[in-house]
Structure 1
Amino acid sequence: MKKLNIGNIDLNLFVVFEAIYRERSITRAASLLSLSQPAVSHALARLRDRLDDVLFVRRGHDMVPTPRARELIGPVREALHGLQGCLAGMGGFEPAQARRTFVLGLRSGLEAYILPQLMQVVTREAPGVDVQTLSVSRRDLPSTLLAGRLDLAIDVQLPVDSRIGQQHLMDAPLSLVMRADHPLAAKQVLTLGDYLGARHVLVSSRRRGPGLEDFGLAQAGHHRTIALRCQHHQSAMATLTTTDLLLTLPRMLALQQPPPGLVVRELPLALPPLSLYLYWHQEHSADPALAWLRSRMPVMPRR
């Protein structure tokens, strides 16, 4: 392997490297960087020569990173974020003139609530800013933030170390959804017996384990029957239209344009709300662009 010296490498090559890694495409990387495709290809060729590694292998329509590229991406992103934060801090952040892409760690169930409100503000205040979302497992979320693959993330309260900043974003009360002609729908007030006697849908990305509402039920000495475990709220609500299953979910999602034929009811017992937190890498706390974005996040669910 060649002996490298940072003084002999054009640091812009790493900007191109990160864009190709993110987009898995030279064409999309060129568009992201506002460069021509030949310019990006030339930059990649130069970096391949400097690092003595092909870095990406074409597989179908994708540019797949080599082991060496996967080894490099974390430190490269960390360095680029640090430099970007330093420069941003020197020049401030002007949303109206900004040209930047923010990457958010956001679960699919929250996208329908967070993104419409967030993008309304971003489009009005910072029309040159783009937003991308990634779904990251809770186990990997801290390491993904530290590696620079995410700018911000929204999730439930997680055990994170001091390198991860966090801020309470909102508490979302839980509600119950069922089809309009469900045997229980005629009741405006359900009993605990009604709830526990029914069969339920649990939305979870995990293969096993209780949901948030099940922890609350267990603390009160109750247990419900899970008939279906699926990954997305939209799938769960679509299933409600053809079954007698019940779905417990945050009220803000229950009211987010559910499929026709469904009704929302109050839970017959008090369960803890879904508490959502905003997470970021502490080293980027001084970045005024990220401070602006954090301040524009929705903080209260709509009633």
Structure 2
Amino acid sequence: MSRLDLNLFVILEAIYSEGSITRAAARLNLTQPAISHALRRLRLTFDDPLFIRQGNTMVPTALTQSVIAPIRQSVRTLSGSVQAARSFDPGATQRTFTIGCRDVLEAHLLQPLMRRIASEAPGVSISSVRVDRSDLETSLAKGELDLAVEMLARVSDRVHRTAIIHDSLVVVGRKDHPVLADEPDLPAYLGQEHILVSSRRRGMSLEDVELARIGHQRRIALRCQQYFAASMLVAETDLLLTMPERYARIVNRGLPTRIVPFPVAVPPVAVYLYWHENADPDPANRWLRNLISEIAAGPEAGFD
């Protein structure tokens, strides 16, 4: 089967339906020699003549009669699938999309995304999963992920990406933290103990990379995995937390904390939407890409 041209089944079905090589060629917009060549290949594959000529009619053999029903159904199913893909209708589709997304970004995107899907594509389901940046390209290439929303990752040219979010770094501390009474300068910031949030066991965060670039290092008292847990902790201690501004405003709602600018001028933190080149022409994937990009650019995700 791996060496069999599936187009041959289309030709077999056409000869069966038309009862003639000439009419089959006209229906498929092929030449008669091309149809005859395909029939020879089919006969070798099945080790059967498949059709016997009686006058001007190609009469199917018993073997052809026994296989034509499943072949005809398969051809129609494939044709219908191709047609459906070309004319994607969000309102009629039944499909689950898998998106690689961190919890930081879930808080921004999932609520407005599911609201839009409920109104525009009620048959669509979303599975948001965590993925390591080192596995990002492999997961996209295998089709394990339809899309990924992630920070800058090292990928090949086969993975497409576009920036959808730009955010700033801020410092979070308890509301009455003496250092945060005024916006702290760099020496005041470095004089405190800090929480670093990362899913990795080791390595520097973006803010530590920027500090090292200008020759400074801060004291990390705690390394943990979740910004929400870190925000709850800084609300009750003298520890400081550095994180993206828009997510900080979400997770600190209702907490007795204060948010101030990061004391070093750094470029905005960019978040990208990734997809594999194999999915680039897929209209369903394109629809979801456009929807996520539209949400990220608008007020409903809190990015304005």
- TM-score w.r.t. structure 1 length? 0.69
Q: 2:85 aligns with which of 85, 89, 94?
A: 89
**What residue number does 2:272 align with?**
277
Aligned equivalents of 1:196, 1:281: Cα separation in 2: 41
Aligned equivalents of 2:255, 2:220: Cα separation in 1: 24
Q: 1:299 aligns with which of 286, 296, 301?
A: 296
- How many matched pairs? 224
| AA in 1 matched with 2:296 | V
| AA in 2 matched with 1:131 | I
Q: Structure 2 unaligned segments of length 5 or more: list them.
A: 5-77
Aligned equivalents of 1:238, 1:291: Cα separation in 2: 39
How big is the shift at 1:272? Answer: 2.4
Q: Does the 8 Å contact 1:216/1:272 carry over to 2?
A: no
SS of 2:165's partner is: strand
Q: Does the 8 Å contact 2:166/2:270 carry over to 1?
A: yes
SS of 1:280's partner is: strand
Aligned equivalents of 2:81, 2:144: Cα separation in 1: 15
Aligned equivalents of 1:219, 1:240: Cα separation in 2: 26
CA gap 1:209/1:285 in 2 versus in 1, 3 angstroms: same
| AA in 2 matched with 1:129 | V
**What residue number does 2:208 align with?**
214
CA deviations over 1:122-141 (Å, ceiling 9, x no partner): 22211211111110111111
Matched, 1:179 2:174: yes
Matched, 1:229 2:223: yes
Aligned equivalents of 1:142, 1:199: Cα separation in 2: 36
Aligned equivalents of 1:111, 1:180: Cα separation in 2: 26
How big is the shift at 1:84? Answer: 10
**What residue number does 2:11 align with?**
none
CA gap 1:262/1:5 in 2 versus in 1, 3 angstroms: same
SS of 1:143's partner is: helix
Aligned equivalents of 1:183, 1:86: Cα separation in 2: 64
Matched, 1:115 2:110: yes
Aligned equivalents of 1:84, 1:134: Cα separation in 2: 31
CA gap 1:260/1:84 in 2 versus in 1, 3 angstroms: farther
Matched, 1:268 2:263: yes
Q: 2:199 aligns with which of 205, 208, 222?
A: 205
- TM-score w.r.t. structure 2 length? 0.69
How big is the shift at 1:153? Answer: 0.2
Aligned equivalents of 1:84, 1:201: Cα separation in 2: 55
SS of 1:292's partner is: helix
Q: 2:141 aligns with which of 113, 131, 146?
A: 146
**What residue number does 2:248 align with?**
254
Give the fraction of aligned pairs with identical amino acids, expressed as a percent: 40
Aligned equivalents of 1:117, 1:182: Cα separation in 2: 34
SS of 1:302's partner is: coil
Backbone CA RMSD of aligned residues: 2.3
Structure 1 residue runs of 4 or more that deviate by more than 3 Å after TM superposition:
4-7, 82-89
CA deviations over 1:55-110 (Å, ceiling 9, x no partner): xxxxxxxxxxxxxxxxxxxxxxxxxxx999855432x2211222111100001221
SS of 1:112's partner is: helix
Aligned equivalents of 2:112, 2:3: Cα separation in 1: 43
**What residue number does 1:190 align with?**
184
**What residue number does 1:127 align with?**
122
CA gap 1:93/1:169 in 2 versus in 1, 3 angstroms: same
When Rg is computed on C-alpha atoms for both structures, the one with the higher figure is 2
